[in-house]
Amino acid sequence: MAVTAVAGAEARPIPRLRRLEDERWLALALLLPTAILLGLFIAYPFFEGVLLSLTSQRVGVDGEFVGLKNFVKIWNDSIFRTTVWNTFWYTGVTTVFKLALGLWLAMLLNRHFKGKALVRAFILLPFIIPTVLSTFAWKWMFDPTFSVINWTLYQLGFITQRINWLGDPDLAMTSIIVVNVWRGVPFFAISLLAGLQTISPELNEAAAIDGARPWNRFWYVTWPLLLPVTMVVMLFSVIQTFADFQLVYVMTGGGPANATHLFATYAYQLGIGTGLLSEGAAISLAMFPFLFVIVVVQLLYIRRVETR
Amino acid sequence: MANTKRRSVLKLAGGTALGGMAGILATGRTPAYAQQKTVHWLKWVDFVPATDQMFRRELVPAAEKELGMKINLETVNGNDLQPRITAGIQSGSGADIIMSFNSYTHLYANSVVDMAALAEEVGKREGGIYKYAQAICSNGKGVYMGMPWAVIGGMIAYRKSWLDEVGATKFPDNWETYREVAKKMKAKGRPFGQTLGHTFGDAPGFTYPYMWSWGGKEIDANGKVVINSKETVDSVKFMTGLWKDGMDEGGLAWDDTNNNRAFLSQTISATLNGASIYIESLRKPDQYKTEKGAPLHTDILHAPLPKGPAGQFGFHLLQSNMVMKYSKNQDAAKAFLSWLHQEANYRKFFESQKGFATPCTAKWESDKLWDVDPVMTPYKVAAKLGQAPGFAGPPDAKAQEGLSKYIITDMYAKAVQGMPAEESVKWAESELKKIYVA
């Protein structure tokens, strides 16, 4: 009796493990770690942020529920409106330049030449160096008094007076755009290069035999095949640029007179600098609908391109 | 000394069924966490590097020895103090003592420990705490949110020989003359320099007193926003002219260190600053020389900001030390601050500053340090003459909010960038109303 009981127990796996034979349970078990991570570090802070933005909490002072009051307040805030405009301009201009330069670089890197591997590695440098460090170097280059850029232009005879890079509102915006493009191009270049390498050279060769010129080969063969990758790269870049913080914080602190404030830097100034945590949260969250629309449009587009 | 590990205490306590105190006593030693208290003090990186060196080499080891505690001194850039305070308060852990600038004390009033006992003791001993420090550090009802530490006086550092060359034998004492001299200096490629950027010290240190001296103010004594006045508009108009005529136009993007560098590299002839420019040139006489080869410090003098139609004002950076409510070492932190404020110890700090920092109590005004170097003498009354943002109201959390948002500084910056004076004042009014109505 006892023997059969033991044998029976061996033949049948314990019920908990058997459950994993069902694919649905297995999927759940495999997804669980990621779900917990995402929940803990993305969903939870997000909902906390939403709750925070609906209260009147300040640093060290528990607030009460105030509904949408913070959102109404920032909507009427002229600095916030400047910030919205700045962020869109900053994201739009940098993305166009990063895409154009990145694509150009990727096409060049896709050719065969001596020292290709080395050049490819060096291209990544701006992306690898910690942003704060490289931005500090740029800050020095744009320094109102000691700018090496001004010095060079002056020595070459192009200017007679110092250019006020970070002191003039338009030039300050241009300066941070330049730095962002410099930092972002390698990401575009390397990702697009990866995309280019998946395109079979035969397609291009066939087009060439049919008499297609280089531009036509690019426009009708390479570009359509590269588009899905391009869209994904742009999606990542737009999200990152839209929420950029370090670069502006180091270079201008949002100045002069708020001319370079982005969502993140203004939220920081209000939330941390002024202690108005709830308003800071409201500004951060105001980013969400804009980003949401951008992401949905891009994802829909990617889907269309992929199913075509 | 061999440390007792918590684990060994627990093992002993659990193994012998001797719980709590008995278990601890059985080891014959206090558990590790109570053997030595640690006080974490977070302060700014001093603009006089010798002071931080002195703290690390002398005062901190001395305090550790005398008080039997470990002191963890951490220094960060002044602009980074606030994020650390916020993070500390929200997470309930961080440094035990944090240095406060200006009215941070009011902003974080709910999260700090009352320091009235120490403030009163030091005040009584040292001839009273200046009103300026009282207004910023206490709530007016006997509670001190921060222990007044020092005032970083703001005075104009200027090049004596250069001003002599254009016929200004003493520094201009009113804005009209200031503009005339600045204009002459700019024509010679040596403009005056001032920041209108987003930076904690020199920007508001210039714009607030400038506005007050014209008769402009953020609010009246009843808390009503009164910035949109003829006086403020006049001050803005004058500033735009002054900027074009006599100032280094790069100043719109300067932080607190840019004017130091510009002055030391001799591209500007005058700037409002703490005494750090002079002290740096004293420290490195071989590195900083005038165009004639003399040590630069022999050609630097200090003067207060000029007078305007409504008088002469100054706004100096006031530093205090806050003991945080979340701290588990409040008593030790208080003991350390009390020790620091003992005359012999505080004197070491005071002397290492060579006048850069002015103490907040009256007694030090007559100290012999001020006679050592006449160039530094103007700083001795900085703490006495200062006025705080939020004038003519109190320097409370709302005033600090206006300061943190750089509203006054941006009002001038916008006008300098081309916005009509009336409009920039109106903008400042609407921003201030949001703060004071809410």
**Residue ranges of the domains in chain B?**
1-35, 36-152+317-385, 155-315+405-437
**pLDDT tens per residue across span B118-143:** 999 999 999 999 989 999 999 989 99
B252 to A277: CB separation less than 8 angstroms, yes or no: no
The domain segmentation of chain A, as residue ranges, is: 16-53, 69-307
A277 to B90: CB separation less than 8 angstroms, yes or no: yes
Residues 227-256, chain A, touching B (beta carbon < 8 A): 252-256
Beta strands in B160-219 (DSSP E): none
Q: Determine the CATH number of domain A69-307.
A: 1.10.3720.10
**pLDDT tens per residue across span B313-344:** 999 999 999 999 999 999 999 999 999 999 99
- Contact between residue B63 and residue B41 where contact means Cβ atoms under 8 Å apart: no
pLDDT confidence of residue B225? 95
Q: Tell me whether domains B36-152+317-385 and B155-315+405-437 share a fold.
A: yes
- A59 contacts in B (CB within 8 Å)? 85-86, 89-90, 107-108, 111
Q: What percent of chain B has pLDDT over 70?
A: 92
What contacts A177, CB < 8 A, 6 or more positions away?
A90, A93, A94, A97
Q: Which residues of chain A have pLDDT under 50?
A: 1-9
- B397 contacts in A (CB within 8 Å)? 275
Alpha helix ranges (H) inside chain A: 2-11, 15-19, 23-38, 44-53, 69-75, 78-109, 116-123, 125-128, 131-141, 148-155, 169-197, 201-209, 214-217, 223-242, 246-251, 263-268, 277-307
Using the Cβ of A197 and the Cβ atoms of chain B, whether some distance falls under 8 Å is answered with: no
pLDDT confidence of residue B438? 61
What contacts B203, CB < 8 A, 6 or more positions away?
B195, B196, B197, B406, B409
Q: Does position B22 have pLDDT exceeding 80, yes or no?
A: no
B250 to A167: CB separation less than 8 angstroms, yes or no: yes
Query: Concatenated DSSP letters for B243-297?
Result: HHHHB-GGGGG--TTHHHHHHHTTS-SEEEE-THHHHHHHH-TTTSB-TTSSBGG
pLDDT (average), residues B276-281? 90
Measured between CA atoms, how close is B217 to chain A, in angstroms? 20
ipTM of the complex: 0.77
pLDDT confidence of residue A308? 61
Chain B residues touching chain A at CB-CB below 8 Å = 79, 82-83, 85-86, 89-90, 107-111, 196-199, 248-255, 258, 261-262, 265, 267, 397, 400-401, 404-406, 410, 413-414, 417, 427, 430-431, 434, 438
Mean pLDDT (chain B, rounded): 89
B198 to A255: CB separation less than 8 angstroms, yes or no: yes
CATH topology of domain B155-315+405-437: D-Maltodextrin-Binding Protein; domain 2 (3.40.190)
Q: What percent of chain A has pLDDT over 70?
A: 94
**pLDDT tens per residue across span B345-404:** 999 999 999 889 999 999 999 999 999 888 998 888 887 778 889 988 888 888 988 988
**pLDDT tens per residue across span B279-313:** 889 889 999 999 999 999 999 999 999 999 999 99
**pLDDT tens per residue across span B26-52:** 554 544 444 578 999 999 999 888 899
B405 to A145: CB separation less than 8 angstroms, yes or no: no
- d(Cα B276, Cα B302) in Å, to the nearest integer? 11
- Contact between residue B317 and residue B205 where contact means Cβ atoms under 8 Å apart: yes
Q: Does position B13 have pLDDT exceeding 90, yes or no?
A: no
Q: Determine the CATH number of domain B36-152+317-385.
A: 3.40.190.10
